[in-house]
């Protein structure tokens, strides 16, 4: 389905601009994280991007943005962007503004396996200077991608690569007259073959969420009242975490929580999908939620063509409705408990459409489950009030 | 302790080592690209169900090795084989030669181990477009059957497989359950357990490999239906909180195993028989027939489930076990639910995991957990220890 990017509702969403040289992995990143393509499929299923491809990410109401996947030479813009202005001199300006204005993250993808980087980093500097003329507060993120395989077996080699690129970027920018004080660049070592890409994109997305401080506060309160070790809010479709409490983030535990989401969606996809034709005798939803009527609950909308909302992107006209698909494996009763041998418990609970609270807690503190549930219920209410 | 010799054969690069590593050594599919070719024969002892030791002979598939397999080492290789697993690579460049080797192997087996069970895997099926898979597999299977007939082999089983999807688990589950004695008895007990839990289905997995060894399904013909979920009023919300038992008292264990059809061998062992919470029994004594009639019957949804679900679950849980390993921990058990079902996957007996699927909203989480807990000792006694 076509998404109308001239629509104001979509035009004003935060943007993630994927830029960088050809074959650095921009499209792969977008497909793997947002469209569930398996990393090894990107090897043979992707062709070079010919023109700007835009898509909307709108799984959960707190986390909505658009992704702009540019071709390697990123000035090949689509007609509808340029058609807005006939005057050719203003045209370039106009285009630049459309791209960089507003809440925007310039995500520059570098292929770590393709040395030397100097040419690539020149074009990076180019993009950054252009962007700054329009939007001085733009977020700049460098993804040092493809840090996997033979070349990057050790962490040391990754850090070397990052150091290398950071110093070159600093030199380049200084040469172009960009003061380091005006710009905060973050660097991420990524690979689509492991969890690093999710970690990096989570941090990018968090920067684009205006309610982030509030979310963090809510989670801080939850963690301290319930004596939890850690709590995350995950977009279950992309598996990016959009917020966490302010305690230190341990990559391994994030990865485990993210893997838990896979387990929950996969198992629910097998046993918990809504029957398109309910078996005889089961003519009504089997369960009543014991909480009475909740004002925040959305109407269900039936669309027999979509098996579930998990893999597909929500279409533009759904953007305000926060549609829960009746056949979705993830619904308002979704929850999961995983017990580990080290005495930890992972607890996942639905808090909004396609949004999960995942917490890590010691099993002795998990005994007060009704208290935990109550508090999560409070968070749920607060989240509804936020959007 | 029983040792069983398993021959794993097939042309070089057909995927033998990959399969073995995924099933028995917790490799991820993508890690197999790093495997180096098997030279000559590699011996591996893998444990299954605790006491069953599979002595895997992973036979390198290069032509030169075949000469020695057929000539010099013929007896060593093909003697006292319990199970032959022969792997065909669907993308093989020389299918004729593969079949020559296959026939050679069949003859040597017939001669040295006439009782060996034979399994053929048509492997790397992921490389075939999905819409053609069935047809291409059937075609290959027909050729394999012809080869078998011409070598005088009557009984063999043939499965499609790929390390990139659940077909690998399906094939290996079938192979391995063939080695388990008394599997029927186990199934009967599992069926009873399933009925008592009001579960849609119950699946037993081997602990180390997570291969399926037995499963039971809700079935309306077994007479379980009539008594299921005869509540006059809706039950408590299935929110998993064990702390607040409902007033209906469904949580109180009622029927003891001794008087139930689950009793394994009447007489012996009755004393330690565990208690099983059976809502059905409770309801039957508690409510008048009139009340039973009024209530909507809950109907299990089993017939609608995906036929590859067990292999998918194996895959899912094994992946997650690996994740736990990375985080320096081990997975013990889980519950997953949404508005339509609850799944419980838990360490069960010493050598198994159990999965219980419940869609009846009136069955309380605590009851299911208690049932699993109580059934452990009972099943421990006759999950085969070979
Ligand atoms: N090893 C490795 N390969 C990757 C990674 N990310 C992408 N690739 C591979 O890089 C190749 C190019 O990826 P694309 O996503 O098409 O690159 P792109 O940046 O969109 O290229 P253009 O559209 O031409 O600008 C593909 O073969 C991917 O499989 C990574 O993290 N590690
Ligand atoms: N596409 C695909 N490749 C596979 C599959 N199984 C194994 N492979 C690949 O085939 C190659 C050879 O596998 P290996 O196990 O070493 O073969 P062996 O010589 O029979 O032991 C490896 O690169 C594996 O990654 C499969 O099911 N599908
Ligand atoms: Mg591209």
Residue-wise pLDDT for A76-91, tens only, equals 444 445 444 455 556 7
Domain closes at, from A164, A189, A207: A207
For residue A353, the domain's CATH number is 3.30.450.190
Residues B139 and B160 in one domain: yes
Yes or no: say if B193 and B375 are a contact pair by the CB < 8 Å rule. yes
Number of domains in chain B: 2
If asked whether residues A163 and A217 sit together in one domain, one would say: no
Statement to judge: residues B112 and B210 lie in one domain: no
Closest CA to A226 of A374, A372, A337, A351: A372
**A256 and A356 inside one domain:** yes
Chain B nearest-CA residue for A368: B243
Check if the beta carbon of residue B84 is closer than 8 Å to that of residue B9: yes
For residue A92, the domain's CATH number is 3.40.50.300
Angle of helix A88-100 relative to helix A118-134, nearest 10 degrees, comes to 100
Q: Are strands A53-60 and A230-235 parallel, antiparallel or unpaired?
A: unpaired
**Portion of chain A with pLDDT greater than 90, in percent:** 59
Q: Are strands A344-352 and A355-362 parallel, antiparallel or unpaired?
A: antiparallel
Q: How far is A333 from chain B (nearest CA, A)?
A: 5
Contact B334 A270 (CB under 8 A): no
Give the residue numbers spanning the domain of B7.
2-177
Name the 3-class secondary structure at A284: coil
**Cα–Cα distances in Å, from B320 out to A112, A329, B28?**
30, 19, 11
Cis peptide before A174 (omega within 30 of 0): no
Does the residue B108 lie in any domain?
yes
Q: Is residue B10 part of a domain?
A: yes
DSSP H or E stretch at residue A164: helix A155-175
B278 in the same domain as B351: yes
Name the residue with the closest Cα to ligand 2, atom 22: B33
**CATH number of residue B67's parent domain:** 3.40.50.300
Q: Is residue B253 part of a domain?
A: yes
**Domain for residue B159, yes or no?**
yes
Q: Is B325 on the interface with A (CB under 8 A)?
A: no
Let me know if residue A55 belongs to a domain. Answer: yes
Question: In this predicted model, what pLDDT tens digit does every residue of A89-140 receive, in sequence order?
Answer: 567 788 888 889 999 999 999 999 998 998 888 889 988 998 998 999 999 9
Q: A89 and A191: one domain?
A: yes
Which among A207, A242, A261 is the end of a domain? Answer: A207
In whole angstroms, how large is the CA radius of gyration of chain A? Answer: 22
Q: Choose among A362, A355, A361: nearest CA to A380.
A: A355
**Does residue B385 form part of some domain?**
no
Strand pairing class (B201-206; B212-217): antiparallel
Please say which residue of A184, A207, A230 terminates a domain: A207
Residue A279 lies in a domain: no
Question: SS in 3 state form for chain B?
Answer: CEEEEEEEEECCCCCHHHHHHHHHHCCCHHHHHHCCCCCCEEEEEEEECCCEEEEEEEECCCHHHHHHHHCCCHHHHHCCCCEEEEEEECCCCCHHHHHHHHHHHHHHHHHHCCCCEEEEEEECHHHCCHHHHHHHHHHHHHHHHHHHHHCCCCCCEEEECCCCCCHHHHHHHHHHHCCCCCHHHHHHHHHHHHHHCCCCEEEEEECCCCCEEEEEECCHHHCCHHHCCCCCCCCCCCCCCCCCCCCCCCCCCCCEHHHCCCCCCCCCCCCCCCECCCHHHHHHHHCCHHHHHHCCCCCCCHHHCCCCHHHHHHHHHHHHHHHHHHCCCCEEEEEEEECCEEEEEEECCCCEEEEEEECCCCCCHHHHHHHHHHHHHHHHCCCCCC
Q: Are residues A30 and A13 in the same domain?
A: yes
Q: Which residue has the tokens 């599992």?
A: B190
Atom of ligand 1 nearest to the CA of A72: 25
The rounded distance, in Å, linking the Cα atoms of B347 and B23 is 19
Distance from CA of B232 to the nearest CA of A (A): 15
8 Å CB contact between B159 and B178: no
Domain-embedded: residue A194: yes
What tokens does B41 get? 């024969």
- Per-residue pLDDT at A314 exceeds 50: no
- Which B residues in the span 50-109 are in contact with A, Cβ-Cβ below 8 Å? none
Burial class (CB in 10 A: 0-12, 13-18, 19+), B56: buried
- Together in a domain, B224 and B362: yes
Largest Cα–Cα separation, chain A: 74
Domain assignment of residue A283, yes or no = no
Q: Which of B312, B323, B324 sits opposite A270 (nearest CB)?
A: B312
Phi, psi dihedrals of residue B318, rounded to the nearest 5°: -65, -40
Q: Which residues contact B215 (CB under 8 A, 6 or more apart)?
A: B187, B190, B201, B202, B203, B204, B310
- Which of the residues in chain B have pLDDT under 50? 221-296, 386
Last residue of a domain, one of B177, B195, B220: B177
Contact B320 A287 (CB under 8 A): no
Helix axes of A251-271 and A196-207: crossing angle, nearest 10 degrees: 100
- Check whether residue A184 and residue A218 sit in a common domain: no
Q: Are B122 and B155 in the same domain?
A: yes
Is residue B109 located within the same domain as residue B229? Answer: no
Ligand nearest to the CA of B59: 2
The answer on B342 and B239 residing in a single domain is yes
- CB contacts of B219 in chain A (<8 Å) are none
Please report, for residues B6, B227, B298, the alpha-carbon distance to residue B291 in angstroms, rounded to integers and kept in the order given.
Answer: 58, 12, 15
| One domain, residues A200 and A303 | no
B67-97 residue pLDDT tens: 777 777 888 888 989 999 999 999 888 888 8
The residues, ordered by sequence, that sit 6+ positions from B340 with a Cβ below 8 Å of its Cβ are: A271, A272, A273, A274, A286, A287, A331, B301, B359
B158 and B37 within one domain: yes
Let me know whether B219 and B363 are in one domain.
Answer: yes
Q: Judge whether residue A72 has pLDDT over 80.
A: yes
Across the interface, of B236, B316, B338, the residue whose CB is closest to A331 is: B338
Please tell me whether residue A166 adopts helix, strand or coil conformation: helix
Tens of pLDDT, residue by residue over A317-352, are 333 333 445 457 898 999 999 999 999 999 999 999
Q: Say which range, A25-34, A269-278, B159-168, B248-257, has the weakest mean pLDDT.
A: B248-257
Task: Using CA coordinates, name the residue in chain A closest to B200.
Answer: A271
Q: Is A310 part of any domain?
A: yes
Choose one of B133, B161, B177: the last residue of a domain: B177
Is the Cβ–Cβ distance between A350 and A384 less than 8 Å? no
pLDDT-derived band at A275 (thresholds 50, 70, 90) equals: low
Nearest by CB to A370, from B30, B243, B340: name it: B243
- A151 and A218 in a single domain? The answer is no
**Domain-located, residue B336:** yes
Residue A287 lies in a domain: no
Q: CA distances (Å), A314 to each of A238, A269, B69, in order?
A: 12, 18, 59
Note whether A24 and A75 are same-domain residues: yes
Cβ atoms within 10 Å, residue A154: 9
Element at A205 (helix H, strand E): helix A196-207
**What are A188's strand-pairing partners?**
A143
pLDDT at A264: 95
Query: Does any CB of chain B come closer than 8 Å to the CB of residue A366?
Result: no
Instruction: Classify residue B133: in a domain, yes or no.
Output: yes
Residues B371, B232: one domain?
yes
Do A270 and B319 count as a contact with CB atoms less than 8 A apart?
Answer: no
Q: Closest Cα partner for B386 from B257, B206, B212?
A: B206
Domain count, chain A: 2
Kindly state whether residues A263 and A162 are assigned to the same domain: no
Whether B328 contacts chain A with CB within 8 A: yes
pLDDT at A273 over 70: yes
Both B197 and B148 in one domain: the answer is no
Residue A2 lies in a domain: no
Same domain assignment for residues A161 and A310: no
Average pLDDT over residues A186-206: 96
Task: Indicate which atom in ligand 1 lies nearest the CA of residue A109.
Answer: 19
Residues B169 and B241 in one domain: no
Rounded to whole angstroms, the Cα distance separating B247 from A172 reads 73
A284 within domain boundaries: no
Whichever domain contains B346, its CATH number is 3.30.450.190
Q: Flag whether residue A249 sits within 8 Å of chain B, measured between CB atoms.
A: no
User: Of B131, B160, B177, at which residue does a domain stop?
Assistant: B177
- Return d(Cα B364, Cα A141) in angstroms, integer: 49
> Which residue range(s) make up the domain with A238?
212-273+297-386
Q: Are residues A180 and A231 in the same domain?
A: no
Q: Are residues A134 and A68 in the same domain?
A: yes
Identify which of A20, A22, A26, A28 to mutate to test ligand 1's pocket (most ligand atoms within 8 A of the CB): A28
**CB of B165 sitting under 6 A from ligand 2:** no
Q: State which ligand 1 atom lies nearest to the alpha carbon of A44.
A: 27
Per DSSP, the three-state class of A216 is helix
Cα angle at A301 between A295 and A305, to 5 degrees?
155
Q: Are A131 and A182 in contact (CB under 8 A)?
A: no
* Residue B146 Rama label (left phi>0; alpha psi -120 to 50; beta): alpha
List the Cα angle B1/B7/B8 in 5-degree steps.
125
The model's pLDDT over B306-331, given as tens digits with 9 standing for 90+, comes to 888 888 898 899 889 989 998 889 99
Is residue B354 one of the residues assigned to a domain? yes
**A253, A287, A341 ranked by CB distance to B361: nearest:** A287
Kindly tell me the number of DSSP H helices and DSSP E strands found in chain A: 12, 11
Nearest to A211 by CA among A223, A219, A221: A219
């Amino acid at each position: 389905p076509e998404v109308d990017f001239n629509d104001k509702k979509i035009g004003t969403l935060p943007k993630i601009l994927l830029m960088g040289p050809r074959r650095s992995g921009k499209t792969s990143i977008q497909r793997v994280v947002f469209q569930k393509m398996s990393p090894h499929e990107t090897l043979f299923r992707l062709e070079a991007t010919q023109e700007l491809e835009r898509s909307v990410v709108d799984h959960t109401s707190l986390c909505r943005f658009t992704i702009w996947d540019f071709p390697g030479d990123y000035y090949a813009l689509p007609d509808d962007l340029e058609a807005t202005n006939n005057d050719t001199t203003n045209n370039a300006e106009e285009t630049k503004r459309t791209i960089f204005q507003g809440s925007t993250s310039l995500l520059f993808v570098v292929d770590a396996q393709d040395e030397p980087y100097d040419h690539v980093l020149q074009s990076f500097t180019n993009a950054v200077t252009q962007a700054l003329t329009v939007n001085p507060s733009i977020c700049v993120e460098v993804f040092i991608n493809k840090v996997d395989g033979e070349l990057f077996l050790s962490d040391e080699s990754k850090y070397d690569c990052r150091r290398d690129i950071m110093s070159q970027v600093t030199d380049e920018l200084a040469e172009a007259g960009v003061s380091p004080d005006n710009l905060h660049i973050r660097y991420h070592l990524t690979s689509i073959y492991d969890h690093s890409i999710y970690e990096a994109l989570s941090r990018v997305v968090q920067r684009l969420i205006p309610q982030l401080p509030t979310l963090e506060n809510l989670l801080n309160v939850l963690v301290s009242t319930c004596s939890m070790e850690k709590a995350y809010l995950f977009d279950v479709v992309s598996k990016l975490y959009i917020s966490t409490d302010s305690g230190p983030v341990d990559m391994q535990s994030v990865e485990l929580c993210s893997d838990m989401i896979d387990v929950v969606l996969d198992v629910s996809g097998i046993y918990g999908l809504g029957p398109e034709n309910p078996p005889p005798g089961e003519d009504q939803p089997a369960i009543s939620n014991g909480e009475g009527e909740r004002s925040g609950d959305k109407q269900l909308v039936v669309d027999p063509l979509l098996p579930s909302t998990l893999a597909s992107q929500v279409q533009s006209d759904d953007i305000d409705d926060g549609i829960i698909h009746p056949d979705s494996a993830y619904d308002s009763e979704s929850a999961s408990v995983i017990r580990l041998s080290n005495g930890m418990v992972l607890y996942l609970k639905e808090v909004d459409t396609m949004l999960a609270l995942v917490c890590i807690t010691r099993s002795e503190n998990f005994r007060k489950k009704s208290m935990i549930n109550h508090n999560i219920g409070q968070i749920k209410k607060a989240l509804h009030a936020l959007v | 302790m029983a040792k069983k010799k398993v021959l794993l054969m097939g042309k070089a690069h057909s995927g033998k080592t990959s399969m073995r590593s995924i099933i028995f050594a917790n490799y991820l599919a993508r890690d197999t690209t790093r495997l180096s070719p098997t030279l000559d024969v590699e011996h591996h002892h893998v444990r299954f169900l605790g006491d069953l030791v599979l002595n895997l002979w992973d036979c390198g598939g290069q032509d030169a090795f075949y000469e020695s397999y057929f000539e010099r080492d013929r007896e060593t290789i093909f003697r006292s084989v319990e199970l032959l697993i022969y792997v065909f690579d669907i993308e093989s460049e020389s299918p004729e030669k593969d079949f020559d080797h296959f026939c050679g192997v069949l003859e040597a087996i017939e001669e040295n181990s006439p009782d060996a069970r034979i399994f053929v895997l048509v492997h790397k099926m992921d490389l075939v477009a999905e819409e053609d898979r069935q047809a291409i597999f059937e075609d290959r299977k027909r050729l394999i059957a012809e080869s078998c007939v011409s070598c005088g082999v009557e009984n063999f089983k043939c499965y499609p497989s790929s390390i990139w999807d659940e077909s690998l688990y399906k094939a290996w589950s079938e192979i391995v359950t063939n080695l388990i004695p008394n599997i029927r008895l186990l199934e009967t007990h599992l069926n009873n357990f399933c009925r008592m839990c009001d579960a849609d289905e119950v699946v037993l997995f081997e602990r180390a490999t997570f291969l399926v060894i037995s499963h039971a399904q809700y079935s309306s013909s077994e007479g379980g239906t009539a008594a299921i979920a005869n509540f006059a009023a809706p039950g408590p919300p299935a929110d998993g909180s064990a702390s607040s038992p409902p007033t209906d008292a469904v949580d109180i264990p009622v029927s003891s195993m001794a008087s139930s059809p689950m009793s394994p061998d009447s007489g012996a062992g009755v004393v330690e028989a565990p208690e099983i919470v059976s809502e059905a029994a409770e309801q039957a004594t508690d409510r008048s027939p009139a009340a039973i009639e009024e209530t909507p019957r809950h109907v299990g949804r089993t017939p609608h489930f995906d036929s590859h679900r067990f292999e998918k679950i194996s895959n899912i849980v094994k992946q997650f076990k690996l994740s736990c390993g990375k985080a320096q921990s081990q997975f013990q058990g889980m519950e997953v639910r949404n508005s339509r079902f609850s799944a419980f996957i838990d360490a069960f007996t010493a050598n198994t995991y159990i999965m219980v699927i419940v869609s009846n909203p009136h069955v309380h989480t605590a009851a299911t957990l208690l049932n699993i807990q109580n059934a452990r000792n009972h099943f421990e006694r006759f999950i085969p220890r070979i």
